[in-house]
Amino acid sequence: MSKIKNANVLITGGAQGIGKLLGEKFLREGAGNLIIWDINDKNIEQTLNEFDNKGYQNVHAFNVDVSDVKDVERAATEVLLEIGNVDILINNAGIVVGKMFWEHSMEEIDRVMQINVGGVLYTTRVFINEMIKQKRGHIVNIASAASFIRNRKMSIYLASKWAVKGWSDSLRLEVETLGGDLHVTTICPSYINTGMFKGVKAPLLTPLLEPEVITDAIIKAVKKNEVIVLKPDIVQLLPILSGLLPTKLYDLTAEILGVYDSMDEFSGRNKKEAIPDKKDKQKVKK
């Protein structure tokens, strides 16, 4: 069981959405320090103020572009020197662009892959060696239920999440060879009811996940060292159906259930939020 009490917890994309809610829940569970990495100054300031008003003094926020290796290394050095080793790492930062593949610009393709895949790998790389040295640490990677399926208007997003799931599963196998209290958990939720997926139409039998539900599941997964979490529960059928049904029969089933039409009215966050600009800032807020 990974201990949350007195642990240093770092959450990427931690100043909004489920990252922010998850951070507060770790604080309630007694985390020693909550470290927020985010690229949005406004959200960082608002989150720090909210947590301060609630009496949480052990919160540290860094402006970090997780898609930029140098920025990740710079911020990681400051975290390690000023706060200490990260005990629990939540790779949560991610973006989505809901378009047919040919409608994407190269900038959109690059940013989705850089943030959703590169950001996860870069952030893990700068902290995992200290975890290995202390023979203790828990890495939680937010993949997606979409990493088991295919879908229209999600080709680039799915490419990134399939990559994260495959890497996360493999990383788990690697750290398990080292022994100690080292753990990797892969989280695979369906659509979550946040601004990131504004406008999506939930498929039949798969309601939109409320942030409270998925964040509770993540906290539980950390406590119990769960290997993989699929939410809602019906999502656990996806790998079975995908593996057993012939491709065209699976496609027909998905059409009937509304899976392949779920992104038809997707709007998401505004473009600036969906594809944040790279920043050349090295500002730290606490």
pTM above 0.85, yes or no: yes
238-276: burial string, b at 16+ Cβ within 10 Å, e else = beeeeeeeeeeebeeebeeeebbebbeebebbeeeebbb
Q: Where are the alpha helices (DSSP H) in the chain?
A: 17-28, 41-53, 69-82, 106-113, 119-134, 155-176, 211-224, 238-244, 247-257, 271-274
What are 71-80's contacts with CB under 8 Å, separation 24+? Answer: 71/279, 71/282, 72/119, 72/122, 72/123, 72/126, 73/122, 73/126, 74/282, 75/37, 75/284, 76/123, 76/126, 76/127, 78/284, 79/10, 79/35, 80/130
- 157, 191, 250, 260: the catalytic one is 157
Q: Is 191 among the catalytic positions?
A: no
Q: Give the domain ranges of the chain.
A: 8-285
Residue 17 has pLDDT above 90, yes or no: yes
Contacts of 61 (CB under 8 A, 6+ apart): 14, 15, 35, 36, 37, 38, 44, 47, 48, 284, 285, 286
Kindly tell me if the per-residue pLDDT of 273 is higher than 70.
no
> Which pLDDT tens digit goes with each residue over 59-113?
999 999 999 999 999 999 999 999 999 999 999 999 999 999 999 999 999 999 9
CB 39 within 8 A of CB 14: no
pLDDT band per the 50, 70, 90 thresholds, residue 267 = confident
Instruction: Give the CATH H-level superfamily of domain 8-285.
Output: NAD(P)-binding Rossmann-like Domain (3.40.50.720)
The per-residue pLDDT for range 131-163, each reduced to its tens digit, is 999 999 999 999 999 898 889 999 999 999 999
**pLDDT beyond 60 at 32:** yes
